[in-house]
Amino acid sequence: MRLLHTSDWHLGRSFHRVGLLDAQAAFLDHLVATVHAHDVDAVLVAGDVYDRAVPPLPAVELFDTALHRLAEAGVPTVMISGNHDSARRLGVGAGLIERAGIHLRTDPDGIGTPVVLTDPHGEVALYGLPYLEPALVRERLGAEKAGHEAVLAAAMDRVRADLATRPAGTRSVVLAHAFVAGGAPSDSERDITVGGVAAVPTGIFDGVDYVALGHLHGSQTLTPRVRYSGSPLAYSFSEADHRKTMWLIDLGENGTITADVRLDCPVPRPLARIRGRLDDLLADPALAPHEQSWVEATLTDPVRPAEPMARLTERFPHALNLVFDPERTGDDQGASYAQRLRDRSDQQIAEDFVAHVRGGAALDGAERSVLYGAFDDVRVDAAEREVGR
């Protein structure tokens, strides 16, 4: 059975004020063309279909068109909700849509009920694990703790329990939206840390033949059977070096996996990160290949130049972002504020702030727990308000 693994469409998202709806439409055209060109048997969409819980109407219309085209292609599609999606909104009409071969999995209660497809080697059970906010689903899943690892483990227990009731030789696929250990994040994913812990081990998914992951925007292989497809478009300059692709997975007899093919997605405009003094950037001939790219420029001038963006766009008309990191003299070598915050979670930043305002005294274990709990409460409160809409 040939599977096309994609995720993190983020329909409705823009890139530094530049609308991406046309680029997203071009990707979906490419997706449908790929289904036909490569004789795909099923499409897997591992969450974050939309960029926000209440997407703009053009994004909804684009999604609706994509569903119709996939249904017309006669190829089953399985998709789950991600942490950016409203599970309830995305799942509206799921029962009716399923009749057209589009299987939306947004309800945690359905984790143990797979979509069952067949090929010449027998049955394939595809289980959809939507994004699981620990505090909201712990009791429903019977998890021991309110953490990502605990709720995913409970969800996988349901998957394995159902799989044990199926005929011998049934192959299995899991779609999940999570931060799995070993994955490399970028700047464009929303933080899903709970209690200071975001990542879960790959071993949680033991016992299934393939795991199609969503959430991280870079395509990556954690194990031969556990992979992220990544997002089809870049959504931050931290993804400038990403190769945006979809996985073409062949699931063979006895659960063998062949994943030799990454299919490139259309690139609306390349990204470039350039660095140096403004006058040097405007004159350097080596930067000529980036003149039509979306550009993020880090200016190192000791004194901020006048009208830097206006001057930069004379050469780089698609420059979108300026960062200032002035060169420092021997007695001023401290890192910039942006550098100090880079790669730090919200909780870590808050801890540093508390330590700073009380003279450098670090938080003890009890204080750290209170702080983590406050961040978790804010996120859960937002999620509950969304569920109650």
pLDDT of residue 329: 57
Picking from 238, 264, 290, the residue at the C-terminal end of a domain is: 264
Per the rule left: phi > 0, alpha: psi between -120 and 50, beta: everything else, 284 is beta
Whether residues 358 and 256 share a domain: the answer is no
Whether residues 208 and 322 share a domain: the answer is no
Report the interhelical angle of 148-164 vs 134-141 (nearest 10°). Answer: 40
Whether residues 199 and 295 share a domain: the answer is no
Quick one: average pLDDT of 108-125? 96
Distance CA 178, CA 200 (A): 8
Whole-prediction pTM value?
Answer: 0.84
Residue 83, CB half-sphere, CA atoms under 13 Å: how many?
A: 23
Whether residues 129 and 12 share a domain: the answer is yes
Number of domains comprising the chain:
3
Whether residues 134 and 250 share a domain: the answer is yes
pLDDT above 80 for 190: yes
Whether residues 322 and 208 share a domain: the answer is no
Q: What is the token pair recorded at 381? A: 């409160």
Picking from 264, 289, 323, the residue at the C-terminal end of a domain is: 264
Q: What angle do CA 105, 111, 114 make, to 5 degrees?
A: 75
Q: What is the token pair recorded at 162? A: 């159902």
* pLDDT per residue as tens digits for the range 200-221: 999 999 999 999 999 999 999 9
Whether residues 165 and 117 share a domain: the answer is yes
Written in H, E and C, the secondary structure of 216-235 is CCCCEEEECCEEECCCCCCC
Whether residues 380 and 322 share a domain: the answer is no
Residue 237, CB half-sphere, CA atoms under 13 Å: how many?
A: 15
Whether residues 78 and 173 share a domain: the answer is yes
Whether residues 211 and 279 share a domain: the answer is no
Whether residues 201 and 291 share a domain: the answer is no
* pLDDT per residue as tens digits for the range 32-88: 999 999 999 999 999 999 999 999 999 999 999 999 999 999 999 999 999 999 999
Residue 60's domain is classified under what CATH number? 3.60.21.10
Q: What is the token pair recorded at 39? A: 């004789």
* pLDDT per residue as tens digits for the range 336-386: 566 667 767 788 888 888 876 665 678 888 888 888 788 878 877 777 776
* pLDDT per residue as tens digits for the range 13-25: 999 999 999 999 9
Quick one: average pLDDT of 233-256? 96
Range of the domain at 319: 271-340
Whether residues 290 and 157 share a domain: the answer is no
Residue 289's domain is classified under what CATH number? 3.30.370
pLDDT of residue 360: 65
Picking from 264, 285, 301, the residue at the C-terminal end of a domain is: 264
The CA radius of gyration of the chain, in Å to the nearest whole number, is: 23
